[in-house]
Every structure is written in structure tokens, then in C-alpha cells.
Amino acid sequence: MSETILPTDLSMNPPAMRDRGAAAQALEDHVLLTELADEVRASVLARGRFRRYAPGAVLSDEEAMVRFVLKGALGTFAAVDFLCLTYFGPGAVAGLEAVGGESRGRVLQVVADAEVFELTARALIGAVGRREAERMLGLSATKRLAETETELTCLATYGIGPRLARWLLRLYALNPGHPVIMSQERLAQLLGAQRTSVNAAAHPLQEQGIVRYSRGRISLLDPGRLAALACCPPENHAPERPAPERR
Amino acid sequence: MSETILPTDLSMNPPAMRDRGAAAQALEDHVLLTELADEVRASVLARGRFRRYAPGAVLSDEEAMVRFVLKGALGTFAAVDFLCLTYFGPGAVAGLEAVGGESRGRVLQVVADAEVFELTARALIGAVGRREAERMLGLSATKRLAETETELTCLATYGIGPRLARWLLRLYALNPGHPVIMSQERLAQLLGAQRTSVNAAAHPLQEQGIVRYSRGRISLLDPGRLAALACCPPENHAPERPAPERR
């Protein structure tokens, strides 16, 4: 597929080229690929390409694509720029449901500057066989289902404050020690909330010296205190008992 | 497993016995089983049992169980009696994630008087083989993921009114033409809402002659008008554009 090289293709982009070795290594280490025989894994690599996508990009494909996320994050959205339903951070795979012949009808959109390895579902099946592709689908879908159920629990149980804290930590984890580059408007879109609600929730965090906002950059001054305020922390567990309804 | 017969076992219950043929037929026709060779399907049937469960029952198993829902409905919940995350109506299969070795940490609870065919995940793998069990997992998890994403979209986008309408239609579909047997308190629990909110949303439906409540029985007098008020109707599609935020 080298004929489809675009400016975002890592192979065309010198700074990205420097990362290509790391990206390829991340792919080879991917939990869904490690169990494959070497020649099968090589066949997967030969049938796809490394790509970089900018935040906000909507990935709509003519043919169903499977994307291994190596860096940054993608998400499925209820609508363009509205409510991230499923979050695909590093190690997650987007689009595997196409292996089962499902068309999702969701918007796939880039959440944070992303590097992915992508190939068509058809090419993946060609490389690993239908059975193995279905096994990948099963493992991936089960994990995503648990995450989406957690998201649902958060949304029903918690207000915007704890959800904002959780999202900030999630984005921070993509590049720990560095500011999260994201506008409050974009954050509100991810959360499916209004910007005014996010502003109101963000204000006390700044007041308490936990985060600092500055023109689209969000510095986490105290991730530990932020984690204490977040709902459904990284362990992704459901609350022991529901919090009082927020409506 | 005939030694574990309980009063809820269909084989012990004369009225249920009459249904056993229908239940067995529903199982044989199950989408996940139809592709199996006859002897494999027979092996699945030999390793499990038909059970009936009462609404509200919490199914906690020492060993991971897979349950084919033949009638009624089960659900995974965020906590006992709070917020149905995933709904398993007739044709759905609960617990398949155990095939992939996942422990979910969700509460499995009976939503509506249910008839199921159940066997341990280990027995299912023994009957159909690990690969086939993983294929079942993949197909089932993908479908459930799409449904849970829809649930998430509904929760973020719509108020209690459209969500209540959707749930009433879902429960009505289990036994069309008959009243839904469920208290408003229980409905509120399913929705992860407070009873007062559900009462407030239910009142105009009764005023308009769309439903009638009477001591735990909910008659749908006009399912068509109710469907027009429901969010995310049976087609399960996401809204074209988000509705105004309800908070």
C-alpha cells in the first residue's frame, strides 16, 4: 500500500521516521500479535502501514479498516465531536468488529495526536486467517465492553467534576509529565457536556492548584490529588454503591 | 447435572415442562448454535440445563456460567438493583466473556421472568472447542458492545422521559399484547434514576392515554405513540445530531 503515502504517513515524515522503529516495536509487542507465529506477524506487518493522525480528524473509510493504536488515542463517537463512547489508547485496536461483519455506524475520530498501524479487515483476515481474526475480535470486544460499561456507570453515577478529572488523567497518561494539549471546548465534546459545565467543573481544580489552564494547555500540577477526585479510576472498577443521583 | 434440580428447574415444574419443548427449540435455533454440527449441538445440550429465574434474582456463580436467554431478560448491573448496563433479551447470551478468561465484576440480575439454558464456560468449551467458543464470544461481545454504546448515547443525550419510553417498549416486546409487570421503583432502578424522576416522566404518558399503571402492571395502550417518544428505538441508531444537553 506504499502508493497511498500521504503527508501523515510516518515514512514520509523525517521526525516520524525516527519513531518508526519504536512504533514497529510497539506493534510487534502488541498483546493481540505476540501469540502469532513470526511469519504470520510478518505477514500482518507487510499488509498494513503506519500512519499518524491529527486530533479531531474523522476517519471514515471506504473499506473497513482495523487500527492498532501505538501512540495517542482514537475514540468512537455518538456523532462528530460529541461524546466519546469508546476510547482507544495505546495497545487498543479499533475496527476489529468488521472482522465479524458488523458495521457499527459510529464516528471514529482522533482524540489525541495518534500513531497507528492500519490495514483492512480483509487484509488482516488474509494474514492471520478468519479464526484467528475472530479470536482477536473476541478478546478486544470483551475488553472494550467492560470499558464501555464503566463509562456508562460513570455517566449515570457521577457529575461532570469527577468525569472531567478522569478524562484529564486519561489524557495525561498518554504523555506523562507534559501538559495535556486540549481546549476546554474539545474536552466538553469528549464528555458529551456543555462547555459552560466543564468550565464550572474546571474552575475549582485550578483554584486548588491541582491543574493550570493556559491557552489550550492543561498542566497537571498534582495528578495524585486529581486521581482522588476522579470517578472510576484507572482500575476501571464500578462503585461499590451508587452515588446519589446527580440530576 | 440433573442432581442440582431446584424448584426453578423447568423439568421439575409442570407448567414449565409444557414449555420445555419450545425452550429446547429456541435453543436449537439460537444464532450462535445453528452453525454447529448436529452432534456438537447435542453435546452442548447434554452439558447444560434449562432454568427459570424470577425477576430481581441475583445470579452469582461459583464457577463462571454461560446463559442462553430463551425467554424474559437478564441484565448486567453496576450494582445490585442499580442501572442496567447490558440487557440480555431472548437470543442473547450472558457470561460468554468467561470463555476469554475475563472476570467482569458486574452484577448479573434477572430483569424479567427468565428462562435460560445454562452451562459452565468450561463445559461449553468442552463441547464446542476453545476456538468455536471464542468465535461465539467475538460475535456476542460485538453485538453487546454496540448495544452498550447505544445505551451510553441515550444516557448522555436524552432525559428520563425518552429513556423510560424505550425501556417500556423493550419490556413490552418480551410479551407483546400483555401488561408489563413491574413496579415504578424497579423501573427506576433499571434506568439508574430516582423513583420521583420516573414518576414525573410517567405521569404525562398516563395523562395522554399512552400507558396505564395499576399496581405494578403497566399496560401499553398505544405502543406506536410510545415509540415516537422513545430515544434510540429498536433499530438502535445513534441520533443524527445530539439533542440539547439535559443537565
Place of cell 459545565: A197
pLDDT for the residue numbered A31:
79
Name the pLDDT band for B29 (thresholds 50, 70, 90): confident
**Residue A138 contacts B where some CB pair is shorter than 8 Å:** yes
Is A42 touching B (CB cutoff 8 A)? no
DSSP 8-state secondary structure symbol assigned to residue A221: S
Write out pLDDT tens, residues A94-131.
998 888 776 667 899 999 999 999 999 999 999 999 88
Is residue B101 over pLDDT 90? Answer: no
Write the CB contacts of B198 (distance below 8 Å, at least 6 apart in sequence): B160, B164, B184, B187, B188, B191
Question: Which chain A positions have a beta carbon within 8 Å of B245's beta carbon?
Answer: 192-194, 197
Tell me which residue in B105, B193, B246 faces A238 most closely, judged by beta carbons.
B105
Cβ distance of A85 and B153 shorter than 8 Å: yes
CB pairs A-B closer than 8 Å: 154
Residues 203-242 of A with CB under 8 A from B: 237-242
Q: Tell me whether strands A107-120 and A65-79 are parallel, antiparallel or unpaired.
A: antiparallel
- Determine the Cα–Cα distance for residues B205 and B220; give it in Å rounded to an integer: 10
Please indicate whether, in this complex, the C-beta atoms of B155 and A155 are within 8 angstroms of each other.
yes
Q: What is the ipTM of this complex?
A: 0.74
What pLDDT, on a 0 to 100 scale, did the predictor assign at position B56? 94
φ/ψ bin of B131: left (φ > 0), alpha (ψ from -120 to 50), beta (otherwise): alpha
pLDDT at A244: 41
Closest CA to A137 of A64, A71, A49: A64
Average pLDDT over residues B164-185: 93
Distance CA(A170)–CA(A190), nearest Å, equals: 12
- What DSSP letter does each residue of B7-54 carry, written as one string? TTBGGG-HHHHHHHHHHHHHHHT-TTTTTS-HHHHHHHHHT-EEEEE-
Smallest CA-to-CA distance from B52 within B1, B6, B4, B120 is with B6
pTM, to two decimals: 0.79
pLDDT of residue A1: 34
Q: Tens digit of pLDDT for each residue in B71-91?
A: 999 999 988 999 998 899 998
What pLDDT was estimated at residue A54?
Answer: 94
- Is the pLDDT at B3 greater than 50, yes or no? no
At residue A19, the pLDDT reads 65
Measure in Å the smallest separation between the Cα of A2 and chain B Cα atoms. 31
Facing A153 at nearest CB: one of B83, B102, B242? B83
List of chain A residues whose C-beta atoms are within 8 Å of the C-beta of residue B144: 141, 145
A13 in B contact zone (CB under 8 Å):
no
Q: Are residues A238 and B194, on separate chains, in Cβ contact within 8 Å?
A: no
Distance of alpha carbon B232 from alpha carbon B242, whole angstroms: 12
Residue B178, pLDDT score: 94
B85 and B106 in contact (C-beta within 8 Å)? yes
B97: nearest CB among A97, A100, A142: A142
pLDDT of residue A145: 83
pLDDT at B35: 79
The C-alpha cell that represents B74 in the structure block = 437478564
User: pLDDT above 70 covers what percent of chain B?
Assistant: 85
The DSSP annotation for A18-86 comes to HHHHHHHHHHHT-TTTTTS-HHHHHHHHHT-EEEEE-TT-B---SS-EEEEEEEEEEEEEEETTEEEEE
Question: Are residues B149 and A106, on separate chains, in Cβ contact within 8 Å?
Answer: yes
Chain B residues with beta carbon closer than 8 angstroms to that of A83: 152-153, 156-157, 242
**Which B-chain residues 44-103 have CB contacts (< 8 A) with chain A?**
76, 78-79, 82-83, 85-86, 97, 99-100, 102
Mutate to test the interface with B, among A109, A125, A152 (most CBs of B within 10 A): A152
Q: Across-strand partners of A9?
A: A51
What single-letter amino acid sits at B2?
S
> What is residue A143's predicted lDDT score, i.e. its pLDDT?
82
**pLDDT computed for residue A2 by the predictor:** 35
Amino acid identity at B106: R
The answer, for B199 touching chain A at a CB cutoff of 8 Å, is no
| Low-confidence residues in chain A, pLDDT < 70 | 1-19, 102-104, 233-247
Looking at the predicted structure, is the pLDDT value of residue B199 above 60? yes
Closest in A138, A152, A192 to B141, CB measured: A138
Contact at CB, A156 and B192, closer than 8 angstroms: yes
